[in-house]
Structure 1
Amino acid sequence: MRETLAFPEARLATEDTQRASLVFCLLAAVVIAAALLGFATSLLQDPDSWWHIKVGTDLLASRTFPTVDAYSYTFAGHPWIAKEWLGQVLLALAYKAGGWNGVVLLAVAAIALTVFLMSWYLSAWLKPTLAIGLTLVLALLIGPIYVARPHIFTLPIIVVWTAGLFEAARNEKAPPLWLLALLCLWANLHATFTFGFVIAAFAGLDLLMRTRFSNPRQLAKWIAFGLLCPLVSLLNPYGIKAILATFTVAYGNEAVPYITEWQPFDASRHTLQEVALLMAFFGLLVSRLRIGWAKALFLVFALHVYLTHIRFMYLFFLLVPVVLAVEVAQQYPAFSAARWAAEKRDGLEQFFARHFSKVCAGIAVLPVLAAAAFMAYPVVPSQKTSARDALAFAESHNLSGNLLNSYDFGGTLIFHGIKTYIDGRADQLFLNGFTETDEQTGHSRGKPILKAQLEKYAIGWALLTADDSRIPFFDELGWKRAYADHYAVIYTRAD
């Protein structure tokens, strides 16, 4: 009789802990969403947001996928593909529906979903309070990448992809085939989908470490899955070109050293991240956590990519905790979800369990109300990237001809239909010495180089950021300063 009663009680206890854990995860997502909406303009600080929306808008209008550049005059007609077309279309639809507020809401939704998934996967092994606290800290650490660009949509995908594959390896099962559909979506959203191949390889190594060829049939399924990954990735408008385009950056090109997000990690500029890295490795050393050589290699890989290009900080801060959570829970039971589930539920957890539906409904209403309130106050990007007043001056004074622009104004120029000299598509364009030459025009001896560029491209006017190092050269070359504010300067030919 005791045994027959024990099972339902145990099942109810498990349901209560799962419900409480789910509510905690939802609350974490709401907290991060509310915080991001409070700093909405920070998500619009990247100049590339402008041209991504324009490309998406043009794709929706023409229903064709570009294969050559149509947005600059310096590289017009050169091969160029919109390899992030789906992410660009999503941004364009959000802009069409709600302007820049709509773009921010879409980006915030993607980040909030990532936070929910992170906390959910971590809480499967760690105490929910620990999992949620860790997730919020990690979300803060990768704050510099929170901008309205296509990569933001891949954050929840990469979390699910990594967690799913390493979970399958831990259970010595074949990778779930539905992950291939996720990879296909990833391949159309952003070029980082090739990281999925590498993550799958590390998960396969983890399986191999566990089975040591004792289950060749299972190993064969993993090999087949790995072979299917690149094949599934070909299901995009550009086929193999989308994969090849990623190598132009992975192996470096002349533009990479000059773009901030592609530069190596700099502790002087990312103090918070440096402290987090040092604390993480201090914890690994003193805890003597045993993680196996496959996961150790994955940790080294994620760290290497991050230190090489700061834009990939999320690979380390998001994925490493997901991969190592099971070892922490197993080797330190005090931190485990199992220990928490065995404890007596406190008042708050009991409340969540008893009123689960009402609490979830209440949590769901909060983002809706916040979004409605947010839409009432228009958000616009800073003039550091928009050059709004400067472009209004150029339009009112009918400035025309080829334009030399600072790199950070390239996106807004594309958005407004003005052909660029250079812009943020340097992963495929502005190569063969062009970017290096443009960089040299701003050096102390760059005046003759700048003069040559002005003549070579028949420049009629220039739109420069207020801190552009070439401004003194334009004065010395006799150009007329037609406009200036705190963000932009316009020069025209004296004649």
Structure 2
Amino acid sequence: MFSLSLLRDWPSQTSWPWMLAGALIYLSFGFTEMMGSDLWWHVAAGREIVQNSSVWLSDDWSYTELGSVWHNHEWLADLLFYGWVNLFGLASLVIWKWMLIVGTFCLFQNLLTRLSGNALAALLACTAGIAIAAPFLDMRPQLYTLLGIAILLQLTLLRAPRLRRLLPLFLIWANLHGGFVYGLLMLAIVLCPWSDSSWGALRSAVLTWGACALVCLVNPDGVQIFWLPLVYALNADSPYRSLGEWRSPFEPGGITSSFYAYSLVVAAALSMTWILPVVRRWVPMSSEVIAIALLSAAMSATSRRFIILWAMAFALLLAPFVAALFRQKVLQLLMLPVLLALTLWAGSRIAPYPLNPNVAYHYLTAEYVYPHGLADFVEANGLQGNTFAFYNWGGYLHWRLDGDLKVFIDGRANTLFDDQAYIDYVTVLGARSGWVEKIESSGAQLFMWPRGRGGERLTRGLLQTGRWELLYQDVRGVLLVRKDYAVPTKLRLPDDSVDTQLTAAYLASKQGDNLAALAAASRAHELRPWGQASCSWLTRSLQANGQAREAASVMESCRAYFPSKYLR
């Protein structure tokens, strides 16, 4: 029989309804659209490890560092990427992402439930955390660090730390992602004998931490593994800090989190109130949590890449305060209604999005911005050579061409390239004084660039020198070649595909032939009715032919596949 006690107690006594609601919420935050340019070279690196039967790799993808040691400290993650792709296909990586995000935050929710004693508080805190982190949850090894954090806190906050559990964690973590360094900092905080200043307690903490740090040395780069992940974080003068993802969240440009600044204010307010004795009696919380929050907040203020670490620390800080509120009897009556409301809200968030891996992968990785057609042309004609390519395209070219086109620089950044290489690249990117000389003196034989990002200006500048010529162009970019480069006598065009049809639509539109552009765009849309580029080009072509109603209908059907803000 229904009663008020059932309304109050049932959700708090049963874990699976909360976990189900949490899983749906976390999945709903797993649809971040991002140009995941690093993903391609991570998968290619896994293939490289298999091909060479070694985790010690020398560079085979660039002409500037050819043969140099590549400090790939995420080799295990790359091997897992490649193994997954071989088993399930490239597009299935979205499933890997969803599983890792949902699994990590469900584990974290379980931790917060046990720490705070309230399932709703844990769910709300985890929801706040993933909302802060969501813009940064792309398909990269950093997701393993979030999982590592959740496991580490399970092993240290809920039970006495044991080396037999911690050592395997850090051994694996150190070879998956550089975030293990943050894990060691967290471990130092939780091992610190805050309430026991005896020599024995301090000695035990130091020995446990030291053993975990030593096991991290079991990696291809030895002791270098400790400072490689910190180069950007500690060196404010590094030119790589100009990359949007490494800038401070208080600087313009790059990825932003709408809730980040608010969370700092809330955390500061909660921390200051916790200093009051009456609040400390009301909100039982350990000093470790405050210390972890301070560490994470400081790191996130230096670089937005660390916001995902702050997101979990904020949830850890928030949960006990929310739990204290729901210990009030009047609020306990809201447990079941709030659970149902959160579950329905999560379902409504997921409903517009597809679980079809092909469609989801296309949008979540911004697959449509990469040079598929240019790579097809290179493959069709067996082209090889030194190529000054767009930075974000480097990883894709490695995956597709496996070193046939060797690039000037790519997203592996300081794990291979020095500062000067990036400075020279930025000189070209901005078409600054001497940019042509930078390209030509580098030994580049080909030039591959998107139409955006100053592509038209750079292309025009190279062609005006008289030393370069246009070899091929498609809807996304251009491929130029030095006139002394040995071009095959008879060039082959790529086989018919979505990209060749989009290219035909682009060229026809450029020549003012709107009917031909519409025909090609329609064919591309038939081949890929959910594609961002095919949808956008068909819409554009219909509008150019005065068919505004049909254009609106096409865009509506495209957004039904995936409600992307980039569909326009």
TM-score (norm 2): 0.70
Compared CA separation, residues 134 and 325, structure 1 to 2 (3 A): closer
Q: Which moved more, 1:243-252 or 1:47-56?
A: 243-252
Query: Is 1:20 the equivalent of 2:14?
Result: yes
1:50 corresponds in structure 2 to 40
2:378 to 387, 394, 399: 394
Please state if 1:98 is matched with 2:51: no
Is 1:249 the counterpart of 2:232? The answer is yes
Partner of 1:70: 60
Aligned partner of 1:111 in structure 2 is 101
Report the alpha carbon displacement of residue 343 of structure 1 after superposing the two structures with TM: 6.5
Deviation at 1:242, TM superposition (A): 2.4
Q: Structure 2: how far apart are the matches of 1:146 and 1:69? A: 28
Amino acid across the alignment from 1:393: F
2:138 to 134, 138, 147: 147
- Does the 8 Å contact 2:73/2:178 carry over to 1? yes
In structure 1, the partner of 2:460 is: 475
One-letter code aligned to 2:292:
F
Is the 8 Å Cα contact of residues 71 and 416 (structure 2) preserved in structure 1?
no
* Match 1:461 to one of 433, 443, 446: 446
Note closer, same or farther for the CA distance 1:394–1:343 as it changes in structure 2 (3 Å cut). Answer: closer
Q: Distance in 1 between matches of 2:11 and 2:53?
A: 49
Alpha carbons of structure 1 residues 294 and 255: separation in structure 2 relative to 1, 3 Å: same
Contact 2:391 2:411 in 1 (8 A): yes
Q: Please state how far the C-alpha of 1:394 moved relative to its aligned partner.
A: 3.3
Q: Secondary structure at the match of 2:58?
A: coil
**What residue number does 1:409 align with?**
393
SS in 1 for 2:406: coil
Q: CA deviation at 1:408?
A: 0.6
Tell whether 2:312 aligns with 1:318. Answer: yes
Match of 1:374 in 2: 356
Please identify runs of 4+ aligned residues in structure 1 that moved more than 6 A: 15-18, 342-351
Q: 2:264 aligns with which of 266, 271, 277?
A: 277
Q: Helix, strand or coil: the match of 1:419? A: strand
* Structure 2: runs of 5+ lacking an equivalent: 1-8, 341-349, 485-568
Structure 1 residue 103, shift from structure 2 partner: 1.2
The one-character-per-residue Cα deviations of 1:327-355 (angstroms, maximum 9, x if unpaired) are x37xx73335xx78x9789889999xxxx
| 2:176 alignment partner, one of 189, 199, 208 | 189
Contact 1:22 1:120 in 2 (8 A): no
Question: For residue 123 of structure 2, what is the aligned residue in structure 1?
Answer: 132
CA distance in structure 2 between the aligned counterparts of 1:317 and 1:19, rounded to whole angstroms: 27
What are the equivalent positions in structure 2 for 1:164-203 lying under 5 Å apart? 164-167=155-158, 173-175=160-162, 177-203=164-190
Structure 1 position 437 matched with structure 2 position 419: no
Q: d(CA) in 2 for partners of 1:266 and 1:458?
A: 39
The residue matched to 1:445 in structure 2 has which SS?
coil
RMSD: 3.6
The CA distance in 2 between the partners of 1:350 and 1:310, in whole Å, is 32
**What residue is the counterpart of 1:7 in the other structure?**
none
Mapped to 1, the partners of 2:222 and 2:81 lie a distance apart of 22
Larger relative CO (CA 8 A, sep 6+): 1 or 2? 1
Q: Which runs of 5+ in 1 are unaligned?
A: 1-14, 352-366
Change beyond 3 A, Cα 1:17–1:140 = closer
SS of the aligned residue for 1:490 comes to strand
Maintained 8 Å contact 1:174/1:218: no
Aligned partners of 2:259, 2:29: CA distance in 1, in Å?
18
Structure 1 residues 313 and 459, CA, compared in 2 at 3 Å: closer, same or farther?
same
For 1:489, which of 478, 489, 498 is the aligned residue?
Answer: 478
Does 1:218 find its partner at 2:186?
A: no
- Write the letter of the residue equivalent to 1:148: M
Conserved? CA contact 2:470–2:479, under 8 Å: yes
Structure 1's 292 and 140: CA in aligned 2 closer, same or farther, altered over 3 A? closer
- The answer for the alignment partner of 1:424 in structure 2 is 411
Q: Distance in 1 between matches of 2:378 and 2:474?
A: 13
What is residue 83 of structure 1 aligned with on the other side? 73
Q: Distance in 2 between matches of 1:221 and 1:285?
A: 32
Deviation at 1:461, TM superposition (A): 1.6
Task: Using the TM superposition, name which of 228-237 and 465-474 deviates more.
Answer: 465-474
Distance in structure 1 (CA, Å) of the matches to 2:25 and 2:155: 26
Matched positions, count: 448
CA contact 1:464–1:489 (8 Å) conserved in 2: yes
In structure 1, how many angstroms separate the alpha carbons of the residues matched to 2:178 and 2:286?
Answer: 30
Q: CA deviation at 1:399?
A: 4.2
Normalising by structure 1, we get a TM-score of 0.79
Matched to 1:119, the amino acid is Q
* Structure 1 letter corresponding to 2:52: S
Percent of aligned pairs with the same residue? 20
C-alpha displacement at 1:116, in angstroms? 0.1
> CA, structure 1 residues 344+488, in 2 after alignment: closer, same or farther (shift >3 Å)?
same
Say which SS state the counterpart of residue 56 (structure 2) adopts. Answer: coil
> Is the contact made by 1:265 and 1:308 (CA closer than 8 Å) also made in structure 2?
yes
> How far apart, in 2, do the equivalents of 1:281 and 1:347 lie?
30
